[in-house]
Structure 1
């Protein structure tokens, strides 16, 4: 696995920031959940492709609808990125659902349950 250069890291963070702004203010698709956030972005070194990891607060149906809405809005999002960022190429965006936050919450809940069970045994 290749280590990211400083330039690539800066591009990733700038694309993530702009994607967050576009999702927050620019999209009017009712399928896209209100609490959708961009967790991470990986732009390829040649600036042709981009993987945007998003997190959606809601159930599985809301997550699926949000992904469908984002897939339909890819052209608009890419055009807005091209307008706001000064890059040689505007990357083609692929949205990927990131469930690491949900996984972390579930693990935290399990740990709390185990520690609560041990505290009750000690009493």
Structure 2
């Protein structure tokens, strides 16, 4: 199975859906922030490993705690994933913090501030 094949894309979507449900409903770790989402999943073509990119709406300490909680629950998450998906191999999950949403919000604020500043200068002139 190639990396960008239709089968791999479907597998990524299915694993993402299943992981989202597991994190939302199954894990009871208090370190995991309630506003945790999985932004994307990359399953290796051989189905041995999986990178799960997570986004946490909170400060740096909450992000760090959530990542630690998910890493400690990785075995349990993998077991739940094996029950939910009928695969020959259940991938080993690596959780990676995705800060692209936070970066996008920050850039949007900077652009808004810049356009507001420019329109203020136009009205004074």
Bin the TM-score by the shorter chain.
Answer: over 0.9
Name the structure 2 match of 1:64: 64
Gaps in structure 2 of 5+ consecutive residues: none
- Number of aligned positions between the proteins: 122
Structure 1 position 3, deviation (Å): 5.2
Instruction: Please tell me the root mean square deviation across aligned C-alpha atoms, in Å.
Output: 0.9
Q: Which runs of 4+ in 1 moved over 3 A?
A: none
Separation of aligned partners in 1, 2:85 and 2:77: 12
Q: 1:3 to 1:76 in 2, by over 3 A?
A: closer
Cα distance in 2 for partners of 1:6, 1:62 equals: 36
Matched, 1:50 2:50: yes
CA-CA distance at 1:26 after TM superposition: 0.5
2:37 aligned partner? 37
Determine if the alignment matches structure 1 residue 75 to structure 2 residue 75: yes
- Counterpart position of 1:115: 115
- Which residue matches 1:105? 105
